[in-house]
A = this chain, B = another copy of it.
Amino acid sequence: MENSGIVLTSRIRLARNLKNYKFPLKMTGEESNNVVEEVKNAVDRQNLNYKLTYMRDLSDVEKSVMVEKHLISPALAEKKETGAFLLSNDEKVSIMINEEDHIRIQTLGTGMSLKECWELSNKIDDVLEEEVDYAFDRELGYVTACPTNIGTGMRASVMVHLPALSITNQIEKLLIGISQLGVAVRGVYGEGTKSMGHLYQISNQGTLGASEETLIDKISQIVAQIVEKEERMRAHLKKNNLYEIEDDCYRAYGLLTNARRMSTEEAMKLLSLLKLGKEMEIIDKAKDKDIYRLMVKIQPNNILSSTDTELTTKERDKMRAEIIRNELLEN
Protein backbone atom coordinates (compact mmCIF):
# COMPACT_ATOMS: atom_id res chain seq x y z
CA MET A 1 0.00 0.00 0.00
CA GLU A 2 2.79 2.42 0.86
CA ASN A 3 4.33 2.24 -2.57
CA SER A 4 1.22 2.47 -4.69
CA GLY A 5 1.21 6.27 -4.68
CA ILE A 6 -2.42 6.33 -3.61
CA VAL A 7 -1.71 7.43 -0.03
CA LEU A 8 0.21 10.67 -0.32
CA THR A 9 0.62 12.09 3.17
CA SER A 10 -0.42 11.46 6.76
CA ARG A 11 -0.95 14.09 9.39
CA ILE A 12 -1.63 14.13 13.13
CA ARG A 13 -2.82 17.26 14.85
CA LEU A 14 -3.21 17.63 18.63
CA ALA A 15 -5.26 20.50 20.08
CA ARG A 16 -4.01 21.76 23.45
CA ASN A 17 -4.79 24.74 25.65
CA LEU A 18 -3.01 26.42 28.51
CA LYS A 19 -4.70 26.34 31.90
CA ASN A 20 -4.16 29.93 32.92
CA TYR A 21 -5.37 31.69 29.78
CA LYS A 22 -8.75 32.31 28.16
CA PHE A 23 -9.32 30.67 24.79
CA PRO A 24 -7.64 32.58 21.91
CA LEU A 25 -10.93 34.12 20.74
CA LYS A 26 -11.32 35.94 24.07
CA MET A 27 -7.71 36.97 24.66
CA THR A 28 -6.24 40.47 24.52
CA GLY A 29 -3.25 41.16 22.31
CA GLU A 30 -0.96 41.12 25.31
CA GLU A 31 -2.22 37.76 26.52
CA SER A 32 -1.75 36.35 23.02
CA ASN A 33 1.84 37.48 23.01
CA ASN A 34 2.37 35.89 26.39
CA VAL A 35 1.08 32.56 25.08
CA VAL A 36 3.47 32.73 22.14
CA GLU A 37 6.32 33.57 24.50
CA GLU A 38 5.46 30.76 26.87
CA VAL A 39 5.29 28.11 24.13
CA LYS A 40 8.44 29.43 22.44
CA ASN A 41 10.35 29.32 25.73
CA ALA A 42 9.13 25.78 26.47
CA VAL A 43 10.32 24.59 23.06
CA ASP A 44 13.67 26.35 23.46
CA ARG A 45 14.28 24.93 26.93
CA GLN A 46 13.78 21.46 25.46
CA ASN A 47 16.32 22.26 22.68
CA LEU A 48 13.79 21.52 19.93
CA ASN A 49 15.31 24.17 17.70
CA TYR A 50 12.07 25.15 15.93
CA LYS A 51 11.85 28.47 14.14
CA LEU A 52 9.21 30.94 15.38
CA THR A 53 7.28 33.02 12.82
CA TYR A 54 4.56 35.54 13.65
CA MET A 55 1.66 35.80 11.21
CA ARG A 56 2.02 39.58 11.30
CA ASP A 57 5.52 39.25 9.78
CA LEU A 58 4.28 37.34 6.72
CA SER A 59 2.74 38.78 3.56
CA ASP A 60 -0.61 37.41 2.40
CA VAL A 61 1.17 35.40 -0.29
CA GLU A 62 3.66 33.93 2.18
CA LYS A 63 0.84 32.88 4.49
CA SER A 64 -1.07 31.26 1.62
CA VAL A 65 2.01 29.35 0.53
CA MET A 66 2.24 27.92 4.07
CA VAL A 67 -1.39 26.88 3.81
CA GLU A 68 -0.91 25.34 0.36
CA LYS A 69 2.01 23.35 1.71
CA HIS A 70 -0.20 22.24 4.64
CA LEU A 71 2.32 23.66 7.14
CA ILE A 72 -0.29 25.86 8.79
CA SER A 73 -4.08 25.83 8.76
CA PRO A 74 -6.22 28.40 6.92
CA ALA A 75 -7.61 29.39 10.36
CA LEU A 76 -4.13 30.30 11.61
CA ALA A 77 -3.48 32.39 8.48
CA GLU A 78 -6.58 34.38 9.46
CA LYS A 79 -5.06 35.25 12.85
CA LYS A 80 -3.17 38.15 11.34
CA GLU A 81 -2.22 39.87 14.59
CA THR A 82 -2.04 37.16 17.22
CA GLY A 83 -1.15 33.97 15.36
CA ALA A 84 2.32 32.42 15.24
CA PHE A 85 3.91 29.06 14.58
CA LEU A 86 7.04 27.09 15.32
CA LEU A 87 8.41 25.03 12.45
CA SER A 88 11.03 22.28 12.50
CA ASN A 89 13.81 22.43 9.90
CA ASP A 90 12.52 19.41 8.01
CA GLU A 91 9.01 20.95 8.05
CA LYS A 92 7.60 17.77 9.56
CA VAL A 93 6.57 19.46 12.80
CA SER A 94 4.57 22.64 13.04
CA ILE A 95 3.30 24.02 16.35
CA MET A 96 0.57 26.55 15.65
CA ILE A 97 -0.07 29.10 18.39
CA ASN A 98 -3.29 31.03 18.99
CA GLU A 99 -5.28 29.39 16.26
CA GLU A 100 -8.65 28.18 17.62
CA ASP A 101 -6.76 26.66 20.54
CA HIS A 102 -3.59 27.95 22.18
CA ILE A 103 -1.51 25.13 20.79
CA ARG A 104 -1.91 22.83 17.83
CA ILE A 105 0.88 20.35 17.38
CA GLN A 106 0.96 19.07 13.82
CA THR A 107 3.20 16.34 12.45
CA LEU A 108 3.38 15.49 8.76
CA GLY A 109 4.63 12.31 7.11
CA THR A 110 4.65 10.80 3.63
CA GLY A 111 2.55 7.79 2.63
CA MET A 112 0.61 5.95 5.31
CA SER A 113 2.55 7.02 8.39
CA LEU A 114 -0.14 7.90 10.93
CA LYS A 115 1.54 5.82 13.61
CA GLU A 116 4.92 7.47 13.14
CA CYS A 117 3.24 10.88 13.10
CA TRP A 118 1.35 10.03 16.27
CA GLU A 119 4.51 8.90 18.03
CA LEU A 120 6.27 12.12 17.08
CA SER A 121 3.27 14.27 18.10
CA ASN A 122 3.00 12.40 21.35
CA LYS A 123 6.67 12.94 22.10
CA ILE A 124 6.44 16.68 21.44
CA ASP A 125 3.25 16.82 23.51
CA ASP A 126 5.02 15.12 26.44
CA VAL A 127 7.96 17.45 26.13
CA LEU A 128 5.72 20.52 26.15
CA GLU A 129 3.72 19.20 29.06
CA GLU A 130 6.90 19.24 31.14
CA GLU A 131 7.08 22.98 30.61
CA VAL A 132 3.50 24.29 30.49
CA ASP A 133 0.21 23.66 32.29
CA TYR A 134 -2.35 22.11 29.92
CA ALA A 135 -6.07 22.57 30.48
CA PHE A 136 -7.20 19.02 31.22
CA ASP A 137 -10.42 17.56 32.60
CA ARG A 138 -10.31 14.13 34.26
CA GLU A 139 -13.59 13.08 32.72
CA LEU A 140 -13.44 14.75 29.30
CA GLY A 141 -9.73 14.80 28.62
CA TYR A 142 -8.03 17.76 26.94
CA VAL A 143 -10.20 20.85 27.00
CA THR A 144 -10.54 22.58 23.61
CA ALA A 145 -12.23 25.74 22.32
CA CYS A 146 -14.57 23.77 20.10
CA PRO A 147 -16.39 20.80 21.68
CA THR A 148 -15.76 18.64 18.59
CA ASN A 149 -12.09 18.52 19.52
CA ILE A 150 -12.54 17.70 23.18
CA GLY A 151 -11.14 14.44 24.52
CA THR A 152 -7.97 13.35 22.81
CA GLY A 153 -7.87 16.64 20.90
CA MET A 154 -6.48 14.57 18.08
CA ARG A 155 -7.23 14.69 14.40
CA ALA A 156 -5.64 12.07 12.17
CA SER A 157 -5.77 12.90 8.45
CA VAL A 158 -4.64 10.98 5.42
CA MET A 159 -4.46 12.45 1.92
CA VAL A 160 -5.37 9.99 -0.81
CA HIS A 161 -5.28 10.23 -4.60
CA LEU A 162 -8.32 8.55 -6.15
CA PRO A 163 -8.32 9.19 -9.90
CA ALA A 164 -9.69 5.82 -11.02
CA LEU A 165 -12.66 6.03 -8.64
CA SER A 166 -13.19 9.65 -9.68
CA ILE A 167 -13.16 9.29 -13.46
CA THR A 168 -15.47 6.29 -13.26
CA ASN A 169 -17.89 8.28 -11.09
CA GLN A 170 -17.65 5.84 -8.19
CA ILE A 171 -16.30 8.44 -5.81
CA GLU A 172 -19.53 10.14 -4.69
CA LYS A 173 -21.15 6.93 -3.50
CA LEU A 174 -17.97 5.87 -1.75
CA LEU A 175 -17.58 9.19 0.06
CA ILE A 176 -21.17 9.16 1.27
CA GLY A 177 -20.65 5.64 2.62
CA ILE A 178 -17.47 6.65 4.41
CA SER A 179 -18.95 9.74 6.00
CA GLN A 180 -21.55 7.48 7.65
CA LEU A 181 -18.71 5.76 9.50
CA GLY A 182 -17.96 8.92 11.49
CA VAL A 183 -15.15 9.87 9.19
CA ALA A 184 -14.84 13.22 7.44
CA VAL A 185 -13.89 13.39 3.78
CA ARG A 186 -13.04 16.59 2.05
CA GLY A 187 -11.39 17.66 -1.16
CA VAL A 188 -7.90 19.05 -0.99
CA TYR A 189 -7.27 22.47 -2.50
CA GLY A 190 -10.96 22.84 -3.25
CA GLU A 191 -13.87 24.80 -1.84
CA GLY A 192 -15.80 22.76 0.71
CA THR A 193 -15.86 19.15 -0.43
CA LYS A 194 -15.00 20.00 -4.03
CA SER A 195 -11.82 18.20 -4.93
CA MET A 196 -9.01 19.21 -7.24
CA GLY A 197 -6.66 16.70 -8.81
CA HIS A 198 -8.76 13.83 -7.41
CA LEU A 199 -7.16 14.40 -4.00
CA TYR A 200 -9.17 13.68 -0.86
CA GLN A 201 -8.49 14.05 2.82
CA ILE A 202 -9.83 11.37 5.16
CA SER A 203 -9.92 12.22 8.87
CA ASN A 204 -11.68 11.29 12.09
CA GLN A 205 -14.74 13.32 13.10
CA GLY A 206 -14.91 12.64 16.82
CA THR A 207 -12.06 12.92 19.29
CA LEU A 208 -13.86 11.72 22.39
CA GLY A 209 -14.44 8.29 23.93
CA ALA A 210 -11.64 6.43 22.25
CA SER A 211 -7.90 6.34 22.65
CA GLU A 212 -5.63 7.91 20.04
CA GLU A 213 -4.47 4.45 18.97
CA THR A 214 -8.06 3.28 18.45
CA LEU A 215 -8.88 6.33 16.35
CA ILE A 216 -5.72 5.87 14.27
CA ASP A 217 -6.50 2.20 13.73
CA LYS A 218 -10.01 3.07 12.58
CA ILE A 219 -8.79 5.67 10.06
CA SER A 220 -6.03 3.34 8.87
CA GLN A 221 -8.53 0.56 8.24
CA ILE A 222 -10.88 2.81 6.31
CA VAL A 223 -8.02 4.20 4.25
CA ALA A 224 -6.85 0.65 3.51
CA GLN A 225 -10.34 -0.17 2.23
CA ILE A 226 -10.43 2.92 0.02
CA VAL A 227 -6.97 2.14 -1.35
CA GLU A 228 -8.08 -1.37 -2.17
CA LYS A 229 -11.15 -0.03 -4.02
CA GLU A 230 -8.96 2.39 -6.00
CA GLU A 231 -6.53 -0.39 -6.84
CA ARG A 232 -9.31 -2.70 -7.93
CA MET A 233 -10.75 0.01 -10.16
CA ARG A 234 -7.32 0.59 -11.71
CA ALA A 235 -7.00 -3.12 -12.44
CA HIS A 236 -10.50 -3.09 -13.92
CA LEU A 237 -9.65 -0.13 -16.16
CA LYS A 238 -6.42 -1.76 -17.29
CA LYS A 239 -8.26 -4.92 -18.19
CA ASN A 240 -11.38 -3.44 -19.79
CA ASN A 241 -10.63 0.12 -20.84
CA LEU A 242 -6.92 0.18 -21.49
CA TYR A 243 -7.31 1.99 -24.79
CA GLU A 244 -9.43 4.81 -23.34
CA ILE A 245 -7.40 5.29 -20.18
CA GLU A 246 -4.14 5.25 -22.13
CA ASP A 247 -5.58 7.92 -24.39
CA ASP A 248 -6.66 10.04 -21.39
CA CYS A 249 -3.23 9.81 -19.77
CA TYR A 250 -1.24 10.53 -22.92
CA ARG A 251 -3.51 13.46 -23.83
CA ALA A 252 -2.93 14.85 -20.34
CA TYR A 253 0.83 14.56 -20.86
CA GLY A 254 0.56 16.17 -24.30
CA LEU A 255 -1.30 19.16 -22.90
CA LEU A 256 0.91 19.51 -19.82
CA THR A 257 4.07 19.60 -21.92
CA ASN A 258 2.73 21.93 -24.58
CA ALA A 259 0.09 24.33 -23.27
CA ARG A 260 1.11 27.97 -22.92
CA ARG A 261 -1.45 28.79 -20.23
CA MET A 262 -3.17 26.64 -17.66
CA SER A 263 -5.57 27.18 -14.75
CA THR A 264 -4.94 25.49 -11.41
CA GLU A 265 -8.00 23.33 -11.88
CA GLU A 266 -6.99 22.04 -15.32
CA ALA A 267 -3.40 21.49 -14.22
CA MET A 268 -4.54 19.48 -11.20
CA LYS A 269 -6.83 17.31 -13.32
CA LEU A 270 -4.15 16.62 -15.93
CA LEU A 271 -1.39 16.02 -13.39
CA SER A 272 -3.70 13.58 -11.65
CA LEU A 273 -4.15 11.64 -14.90
CA LEU A 274 -0.41 11.65 -15.55
CA LYS A 275 0.21 10.34 -12.02
CA LEU A 276 -2.38 7.62 -12.61
CA GLY A 277 -0.80 6.64 -15.94
CA LYS A 278 2.64 6.38 -14.39
CA GLU A 279 1.40 4.25 -11.50
CA MET A 280 -0.63 2.01 -13.81
CA GLU A 281 2.48 1.68 -15.98
CA ILE A 282 0.57 2.60 -19.10
CA ILE A 283 2.53 5.75 -19.81
CA ASP A 284 6.20 5.86 -20.38
CA LYS A 285 6.73 9.56 -19.62
CA ALA A 286 7.92 11.75 -16.76
CA LYS A 287 9.29 8.61 -15.19
CA ASP A 288 11.34 10.01 -12.32
CA LYS A 289 9.09 13.02 -11.67
CA ASP A 290 7.34 13.62 -8.36
CA ILE A 291 3.91 14.65 -9.62
CA TYR A 292 2.46 15.37 -6.19
CA ARG A 293 5.28 17.82 -5.47
CA LEU A 294 4.46 19.52 -8.77
CA MET A 295 0.78 19.68 -7.77
CA VAL A 296 1.77 21.72 -4.72
CA LYS A 297 4.23 23.84 -6.71
CA ILE A 298 1.58 25.05 -9.16
CA GLN A 299 -0.91 26.22 -6.53
CA PRO A 300 -1.74 29.92 -7.01
CA ASN A 301 0.22 31.30 -4.08
CA ASN A 302 3.19 29.04 -4.60
CA ILE A 303 3.45 30.58 -8.06
CA LEU A 304 3.02 34.11 -6.76
CA SER A 305 5.76 33.54 -4.20
CA SER A 306 8.24 32.58 -6.91
CA THR A 307 8.28 36.10 -8.31
CA ASP A 308 8.65 39.62 -6.93
CA THR A 309 6.09 41.24 -9.19
CA GLU A 310 2.31 41.29 -8.96
CA LEU A 311 0.74 38.82 -11.38
CA THR A 312 -2.63 38.89 -13.09
CA THR A 313 -4.52 35.60 -13.37
CA LYS A 314 -3.46 35.50 -17.02
CA GLU A 315 0.20 35.91 -16.16
CA ARG A 316 -0.11 33.31 -13.43
CA ASP A 317 -1.67 30.81 -15.85
CA LYS A 318 1.21 31.48 -18.23
CA MET A 319 3.80 30.96 -15.52
CA ARG A 320 2.05 27.80 -14.33
CA ALA A 321 2.22 26.30 -17.83
CA GLU A 322 5.90 27.24 -17.99
CA ILE A 323 6.72 25.66 -14.63
CA ILE A 324 4.97 22.44 -15.62
CA ARG A 325 6.69 22.25 -19.02
CA ASN A 326 10.10 22.89 -17.53
CA GLU A 327 9.59 20.36 -14.78
CA LEU A 328 8.24 17.56 -16.99
CA LEU A 329 10.61 18.07 -19.91
CA GLU A 330 13.89 18.57 -18.06
CA ASN A 331 16.15 15.57 -17.83
Bound together, the chains give a CA A250 to CA B254 distance in angstroms of: 9
Q: Is A49 in the interface zone, CB < 8 Å from B?
A: no
Bound together, the chains give a CA A254 to CA B246 distance in angstroms of: 15
Q: Is A287 in the interface zone, CB < 8 Å from B?
A: no
CB neighbors of B among A199-223 (8 A): none
Q: Is A258 in the interface zone, CB < 8 Å from B?
A: yes
Closest to A285 in B: B258
Closest to A253 in B: B258
Question: Which of chain B's residues have a CB closer than 8 A to the CB of A243?
Answer: 260-261, 314, 318
Bound together, the chains give a CA A260 to CA B251 distance in angstroms of: 8
Q: Is A228 in the interface zone, CB < 8 Å from B?
A: no
Mask: chain A, 248-279; 1 = CB below 8 Å from B; 0 = not? 00110111111111000000000000000000
Question: Which of chain B's residues have a CB closer than 8 A to the CB of A253?
Answer: 254, 258
Bound together, the chains give a CA A246 to CA B318 distance in angstroms of: 11
| Copies of this protein in the complex | 2
Q: Is A91 in the interface zone, CB < 8 Å from B?
A: no
Q: Is A247 in the interface zone, CB < 8 Å from B?
A: yes
Closest to A248 in B: B260
Q: Which interface class (under 10, 10 to 19, 20 to 34, 35 or more) fits A?
A: 10 to 19
Question: Which of chain B's residues have a CB closer than 8 A to the CB of A258?
Answer: 250-251, 253-254
Our pick among B251, B314, B318 for the contact of A255 (Cβ within 8 Å) is B251
Our pick among B247, B261, B318 for the contact of A259 (Cβ within 8 Å) is B247
Question: Which of chain B's residues have a CB closer than 8 A to the CB of A255?
Answer: 251, 254-255
Closest to A242 in B: B260
Our pick among B259, B314, B318 for the contact of A254 (Cβ within 8 Å) is B259
| 11 further contact pairs, Cβ within 8 A, besides A243-B318, A250-B259, A251-B259 | A243-B261, A243-B314, A246-B260, A247-B259, A247-B260, A250-B258, A254-B254, A254-B255, A254-B256, A254-B258, A254-B259
- Residue positions of A touching B, CB distance < 8 A: 243-244, 246-247, 250-251, 253-261, 314, 318, 321
Q: List 18 A-B contacts (CB under 8 A).
A: A243-B260, A244-B261, A247-B259, A247-B261, A247-B321, A250-B259, A250-B260, A251-B255, A251-B258, A251-B259, A251-B260, A253-B258, A254-B254, A254-B255, A254-B256, A254-B258, A254-B259, A255-B255
The 5 residue pairs across chains A and B that have the minimum distance between CB atoms: A254-B258, A254-B254, A247-B260, A250-B258, A246-B260
